[in-house]
Chains A and B, each alone.
Chain A
Amino acid sequence: MTRAASSGVAEPPVAGPGPDERLARRSPLRRLLGRPELGALLGAVALFVFFSVVADAFLRAGSFSTVLYASSTFGIMAVGVSLLMIGGEFDLSAGVLVTSSALIAALTAYQLTLNVWAGVAISLVLTLALGAANGLLYVRTRLPSFIVTLATFFMLAGLNLGVTKALTGNVASDSVRDMDGFDSARAVFASDMDVLGVNVRITVLWWLLFVAVATWILLRTRTGNWIFAVGGSADSARAVGVPVDRVKIGLFMGVAFCAWFSGMHLVFAFATVQSGEGVGNEFLYIICAVIGGCLLTGGYGSAIGAAIGAFIFGMTNKGIVYAEWNPDWFRFFLGAMLLIATVVNLAVRRRVERTS
Chain B
Amino acid sequence: MALATVGLLALGACSSEGGKKAEEEAEGTGARLKIAMVTHSAPGDTFWDIVQKGAKAAAAKDGAEFLYAADPDGGKQAELVQAQIDKRVDGIIVTLAKPDAMRDVLARATAAKIPVVSINSGQHESARLGAVAHFGQDETIAGEAAGAEMTRIGAKNALCVVHEQGNVGLEARCAGARKTFRGTMRNLFVQGANMPGVKSSITAKLQADDGVDGILTLGAPFAATAVDAVKEAGGDAKIGTFDLNRDLIASITSGAVAFAVDQQPYLQGYEAVDQLWLLRTNGNVLGGGRPVLTGPAIVTKENAGRLEAFANRGTR
The answer to whether B86 touches A63 (Cβ under 8 A) is: yes
B106 at the interface (CB under 8 A from A): no
A303 at the interface (CB under 8 A from B): no
B267 at the interface (CB under 8 A from A): no
Would A318 and B98 be within 8 Å (CB), given that A171-B165, A171-B168, A327-B69 are in contact?
A: no
Most buried by B among A73, A177, A327: A327
Least CB separation from B44: chain A residue: A328
B82 at the interface (CB under 8 A from A): yes
The answer to whether B86 touches A66 (Cβ under 8 A) is: yes
Contact with B along A66-109 (1 / 0, CB 8 A): 10011001000000000000000000000000000000000000
Least CB separation from B70: chain A residue: A327
**Docked complex Cα distance between A278 and B73 (Å):** 8
Least CB separation from B187: chain A residue: A165
Contact with B along A255-273 (1 / 0, CB 8 A): 0000000000010011110
**Docked complex Cα distance between A142 and B158 (Å):** 46
Would A175 and B165 be within 8 Å (CB), given that A274-B74, A327-B68 are in contact?
A: no
Beta-carbon contacts under 8 Å, A300-327 to B: 317-318, 321-322, 324, 327
Name A's interface SS: helix
**Docked complex Cα distance between A318 and B168 (Å):** 28
Pick 15 A–B contacts, CB within 8 A, sort by A. A57-B88, A63-B83, A66-B82, A66-B83, A171-B166, A172-B98, A172-B166, A271-B100, A271-B103, A276-B164, A277-B166, A321-B69, A322-B87, A324-B67, A327-B68
B171 at the interface (CB under 8 A from A): yes
A270 CB contact (under 8 Å) in B68, B88, B101, B165: B101
Distance between B56 CB and nearest chain A CB, rounded to angstroms? 12
Least CB separation from A329: chain B residue: B43
Beta-carbon contacts under 8 Å, A146-204 to B: 161, 170-172, 175, 177
A140 at the interface (CB under 8 A from B): no
Task: Specify which chain B residues have a CB less than 8 angstroms from the CB of A321 in the assembled complex.
Answer: 69, 80, 83-84, 87
Task: Specify which chain A residues have a CB less than 8 angstroms from the CB of B171 in the assembled complex.
Answer: 170-171
B85 at the interface (CB under 8 A from A): yes
The answer to whether B100 touches A272 (Cβ under 8 A) is: yes
Q: How large is the interface on B (under 10, 10 to 19, 20 to 34, 35 or more residues)?
A: 20 to 34
Query: Nearest 4 CB-CB pairs, A to B?
Result: A276-B165, A276-B166, A274-B166, A63-B86
Task: Specify which chain B residues have a CB less than 8 angstroms from the CB of A330 in the assembled complex.
Answer: 43
**Docked complex Cα distance between A172 and B98 (Å):** 9
**Docked complex Cα distance between A77 and B266 (Å):** 39
The answer to whether A269 touches B104 (Cβ under 8 A) is: yes
B167 at the interface (CB under 8 A from A): yes
A318 CB contact (under 8 Å) in B70, B83, B85, B100: B83
The answer to whether A73 touches B83 (Cβ under 8 A) is: no
Query: Which chain A residues have a beta carbon within 8 Å of chain B's beta carbons?
Result: 57, 60, 62-63, 66, 69-70, 73, 161, 170-172, 175, 177, 266, 269-272, 274-278, 281, 317-318, 321-322, 324, 327-328, 330-331
Contact with A along B169-200 (1 / 0, CB 8 A): 00100000000000000000100000000000
Least CB separation from B87: chain A residue: A57
Task: Specify which chain A residues have a CB less than 8 angstroms from the CB of B101 in the assembled complex.
Answer: 269-270, 272, 274
Beta-carbon contacts under 8 Å, B52-98 to A: 67-70, 73-76, 78-80, 82-88, 98
The answer to whether A318 touches B79 (Cβ under 8 A) is: yes
Least CB separation from A330: chain B residue: B43
Task: Specify which chain B residues have a CB less than 8 angstroms from the CB of A73 in the assembled complex.
Answer: 75
**Docked complex Cα distance between A62 and B84 (Å):** 11
Task: Specify which chain B residues have a CB less than 8 angstroms from the CB of A271 in the assembled complex.
Answer: 100, 103
Task: Specify which chain B residues have a CB less than 8 angstroms from the CB of A69 in the assembled complex.
Answer: 79, 82
Task: Specify which chain B residues have a CB less than 8 angstroms from the CB of A277 in the assembled complex.
Answer: 73-75, 166
8 more contacts with CB within 8 A, not counting A63-B87, A70-B79, are: A57-B86, A171-B167, A270-B75, A270-B100, A321-B80, A322-B86, A322-B87, A327-B69
Distance between A69 CB and nearest chain B CB, rounded to angstroms? 7
Task: Specify which chain B residues have a CB less than 8 angstroms from the CB of A274 in the assembled complex.
Answer: 74, 98, 101, 165-166
Beta-carbon contacts under 8 Å, B98-132 to A: 98, 100-101, 103-104
Least CB separation from A67: chain B residue: B83
Beta-carbon contacts under 8 Å, B27-62 to A: 43-44
Task: Specify which chain B residues have a CB less than 8 angstroms from the CB of A70 in the assembled complex.
Answer: 76, 79
Least CB separation from A272: chain B residue: B100
Task: Specify which chain B residues have a CB less than 8 angstroms from the CB of A317 in the assembled complex.
Answer: 79
The answer to whether B75 touches A266 (Cβ under 8 A) is: yes
Distance between A334 CB and nearest chain B CB, rounded to angstroms? 11
The answer to whether A161 touches B83 (Cβ under 8 A) is: no
**Docked complex Cα distance between A4 and B222 (Å):** 56
Task: Specify which chain A residues have a CB less than 8 angstroms from the CB of B83 in the assembled complex.
Answer: 63, 66, 318, 321-322
Distance between B23 CB and nearest chain A CB, rounded to angstroms? 26
Would A161 and B165 be within 8 Å (CB), given that A270-B75, A277-B74, A322-B86 are in contact?
A: yes
Task: Specify which chain A residues have a CB less than 8 angstroms from the CB of B44 in the assembled complex.
Answer: 328
**Docked complex Cα distance between A145 and B78 (Å):** 33
Task: Specify which chain B residues have a CB less than 8 angstroms from the CB of A66 in the assembled complex.
Answer: 79, 82-83, 86
